[in-house]
Amino acid sequence: MTELSDVFEGFTGRDWQTGEEGTVRIAMVGLGWWTKEKAMPAVERSELCETTVLVSSDEERAMAVADQHETVVEGLTYEGFHDGKAREEYDAVYIATPNAVHLEYAATAAEFDKAILCEKPMEATVERAEELVEACESVPLMIAYRMHTEPAVRRARELVREGFIGDPVAIHGAMTQRLLEMNPDTDQWRLDPDLAGYGASVMDLGIYPLNTARFVLDRDPQSVGASMHSSHEAFADVADERASFRVDFPDGVSTVCTASQNAAQSSHLRITGTEGELELDPVFFPDEPRKLRVRRGDVDATLDFDQRSQMTEEFDYFADRVLSETEPHPDGEHGLVDMRALEAIYEAAESDATVSL
Amino acid sequence: MTELSDVFEGFTGRDWQTGEEGTVRIAMVGLGWWTKEKAMPAVERSELCETTVLVSSDEERAMAVADQHETVVEGLTYEGFHDGKAREEYDAVYIATPNAVHLEYAATAAEFDKAILCEKPMEATVERAEELVEACESVPLMIAYRMHTEPAVRRARELVREGFIGDPVAIHGAMTQRLLEMNPDTDQWRLDPDLAGYGASVMDLGIYPLNTARFVLDRDPQSVGASMHSSHEAFADVADERASFRVDFPDGVSTVCTASQNAAQSSHLRITGTEGELELDPVFFPDEPRKLRVRRGDVDATLDFDQRSQMTEEFDYFADRVLSETEPHPDGEHGLVDMRALEAIYEAAESDATVSL
């Protein structure tokens, strides 16, 4: 049984770090706000990475951002990237473009023998995600699920594994945000199925509780159910301005989730077991301090801890795996399981039926 | 818009009380632990009720309990009750027998022109619940949803109504307990479909988040989805040792719920809106102090308040309605909506399909 001291000691420690030293030079592919405001600052804070190349649709934009960053040696257009420009200046790529074009950048990076950190969902459809995995067989491919290196999630996973809450019984998870307040452009790619894939809220947000439940339970989904609703005009092309879905895992453990790109910002994951309960709230937004609530018997404790930058942890983990030449996780096969579940969730909502995986 | 002072003032006030005075004399029908340990003490603390008659399968048991309570004048068998014994000694009945026999006691009470407070779910099946409503047309009938008079739930409902969280988007709700620790008898009625109805966990526990979501939203369900799982031998006759279900309300507001009679005790209700969020945790267990968390913008406050006995509030509300000769709510028609939703939830799990209501 878990000792209390085990929970407190090494809470935020990098239990995954091999100790390998060095620097992985990264080409940032896609220069949206996420890359500029989250990924690049995270890499600046990292121990094992630096950004050396920027790739954007707009060369001027790439050069302008490049000028602001000392480590960056080249700003490229997508054409330049595919042509192999500056390919000696980076060891790995971070792909943060719209979902539907991950494949082409990943394929080019693999061709150049670069390691790949690809944002989630890994592509717009299952078929393209499968092509992506195939194209990247010869290089390290990691899907950017930053919850896998979030200390609070890792500790929750350990507590579940060690039986602290008994057998897991049910999980609640949610992620909601006000997308149009973050970006008022109603033509943005997240609202366009040609670029986002099956939809807007489950693809971009619902994937967090889905994947984190998988990670914490160490199980893969068996079947799903869902309902979706769109009424706001900005969501006219997608079914899921609001979504609620159920993911059934082996041994009768169900995860019930809600996701919306048009609701107050909120995120949580609650794991109820036969003997106790864990709750992470907030959990999925990198700028909100995560908390872990642990309940069992008569004790109910909320653990506050020294927060880690989720993106820095992710980049350093990825770099550690590249430097130590060990397989990064979550890999492409792991990401494919989510892609199949995502497709099934949209199909379940469309068909009003449980869909088996 | 709601002023902060509105939230603080009158938080636990009986906003439903008419001021009518008097005493409603109650016959307790069914002498299980709930009646003895929760209902009778609640009536003792009440302003407007007293227990005068006890009805049990076992006359000796009824007499033994009667001897311990000063106000009780008669202990009856079920036969004696149906025969009209001591019918001048009570004005109303509280029915807390197994679900599948609510109908016969309600019908007899109605025949004697008594007001009826009937535990939820109101019967074992939709058909019997419909018969119950019909049999009680001539008398006041209230279904014992104690959340309708729980101050924290009433305040949450007001905040939703007043638009404090914007438009409601999604609700999470759960209720779980360790039934076999409370009562180790595997032959107990809650595990027997002949007495409990469609199942064990959704009928007895899932009904709390289902009904409280209805009450807070002031809307009725349109469709449901569900999955269930039983593996423990005590749950061999029911599908839902563990259940997760979704209830779709008008305007695309979904409620996702989990319920289990074989998990650590826990209960919560979380209502996410376009502008903010409310969370009640814990909420459904009468012995746990309720808390209301209110989030909007940059503020996140957890309100602690002077706890009220949920059962005393319920009995006094019922008595107030009887004394003032006004219709009690939730009434039989309200209970029927839940019965139809419960049947549909079990059907949805069985058929792996969304079921419309």
The residues facing A56 across adjacent strands are: A77
- Among B97, B69, B73, B101, which residue's Cα sits nearest to residue B87? B73
Tell me the C-alpha to C-alpha distance, in Å, between residue B114 and each of B89, B94, B137, B322, B326: 11, 10, 12, 10, 14
Tell me the C-alpha to C-alpha distance, in Å, between residue B268 and each of A123, B6, B66, B216, B291: 36, 24, 36, 14, 10
With contacts defined as CB-CB under 8 Å, which chain A residues touch B248?
A: 227, 244
A&B contacts, CB < 8 Å: 156
Domain boundaries, position A64: 13-146
Do B122 and B165 lie in one domain? The reply is: no
Contact at CB, B264 and A223, closer than 8 angstroms: no
Do B115 and B206 lie in one domain? The reply is: no
Q: Is the Cβ of B258 closer than 8 Å to some Cβ of chain A?
A: yes
| Alpha carbon of B214: minimum distance to chain A alpha carbons (Å) | 17
Do B129 and B168 lie in one domain? The reply is: no
Strands A92-95 and A115-118: parallel
Using a 10 angstrom Cβ sphere, with 0-12 exposed, 13-18 middle and 19 or more buried, the burial of residue B236 is: exposed
SS3 of A246, please? Answer: strand
The residues facing B27 across adjacent strands are: B53, B93
> Are B345 and A347 in contact, with CB atoms under 8 Å apart?
no
Q: Is the Cβ of B64 closer than 8 Å to some Cβ of chain A?
A: no
Is A84 a member of any domain? yes
The one-letter code for the residue type at B33 is W
pLDDT one digit per residue (tens) for chain A, 357 residues: 566 677 778 899 999 999 999 999 999 999 999 999 999 999 999 999 999 999 999 888 888 999 999 999 999 999 999 999 999 999 999 999 999 999 999 999 999 999 999 999 999 999 999 999 999 999 999 999 999 999 999 999 999 999 999 999 999 999 999 999 999 999 999 999 999 999 999 999 999 999 999 999 999 999 999 999 999 999 999 999 999 999 999 999 999 999 999 999 999 999 999 999 999 999 999 999 999 999 999 899 999 999 999 999 999 999 999 999 999 999 999 999 999 999 999 999 999 999 999
Tell me the C-alpha to C-alpha distance, in Å, between residue B291 and each of A82, B15, B166, B244: 57, 19, 21, 24
Is B47 a member of any domain? yes
Contact at CB, B170 and A174, closer than 8 angstroms: yes
- pTM strictly above 0.95: yes
Q: Which of residues 286-325 of A touch B (CB under 8 A)?
A: 295-296
> Are A330 and A143 in contact, with CB atoms under 8 Å apart?
yes
Q: Is the Cβ of B97 closer than 8 Å to some Cβ of chain A?
A: no
Instruction: Report yes or no for ipTM above 0.90.
Output: yes
Paired tokens of A241: 């301005």
Do A269 and A287 lie in one domain? The reply is: yes
Q: Is the Cβ of A344 closer than 8 Å to some Cβ of chain B?
A: no
Strands A276-280 and A242-249: unpaired
Give the H or E element holding residue A245.
Answer: strand A242-249
Q: Which of residues 173-232 of B touch A (CB under 8 A)?
A: 174, 176, 178, 223, 225-231
Do A213 and A349 lie in one domain? The reply is: yes
CATH number at residue B352: 3.30.360.10
Is B253 a member of any domain? yes
Domain tally, chain A: 2
Q: Is the Cβ of B56 closer than 8 Å to some Cβ of chain A?
A: no
Beta sheet of B141-143, edge-to-edge order = B74-77, B49-56, B24-29, B92-95, B115-118, B141-143
Using a 10 angstrom Cβ sphere, with 0-12 exposed, 13-18 middle and 19 or more buried, the burial of residue B3 is: exposed
Residues 6+ apart with CB under 8 A from A119: A94, A95, A96, A97, A99, A102, A143, A144
With contacts defined as CB-CB under 8 Å, which chain A residues touch B174?
A: 170, 172, 270, 272
Distance CA A96, CA A94 (A): 6
Single out the residue in A130, A146, A162 at which a domain terminates. A146
> Are B18 and B324 in contact, with CB atoms under 8 Å apart?
yes
| Chain B: residue whose CA lies nearest to A282 | B300
Chosen for mutation from A272, A279, A287 (greatest number of chain B CBs closer than 10 Å) is: A272
Contact at CB, B264 and A273, closer than 8 angstroms: yes
Chosen for mutation from B205, B268, B272 (greatest number of chain A CBs closer than 10 Å) is: B272
Single out the residue in A146, A168, A186 at which a domain terminates. A146
Q: Residue B122 half-sphere exposure, CB side, CA atoms within 13 Å?
A: 33
Single out the residue in B107, B122, B146 at which a domain terminates. B146
| Alpha carbon of A292: minimum distance to chain B alpha carbons (Å) | 15
> Are A223 and A355 in contact, with CB atoms under 8 Å apart?
yes
CATH number at residue A93: 3.40.50.720
Is B178 a member of any domain? yes
With contacts defined as CB-CB under 8 Å, which chain A residues touch B206?
A: none
Using a 10 angstrom Cβ sphere, with 0-12 exposed, 13-18 middle and 19 or more buried, the burial of residue A60 is: exposed
With contacts defined as CB-CB under 8 Å, which chain B residues touch A230?
A: 252
SS3 of B90, please? Answer: coil
User: In the predicted model, is pLDDT for residue B97 greater than 60?
Assistant: yes
Is B22 a member of any domain? yes
Distance CA A245, CA A264 (A): 19
Neighbours of B21 (CB within 10 A): 10
Contact at CB, A246 and B260, closer than 8 angstroms: no
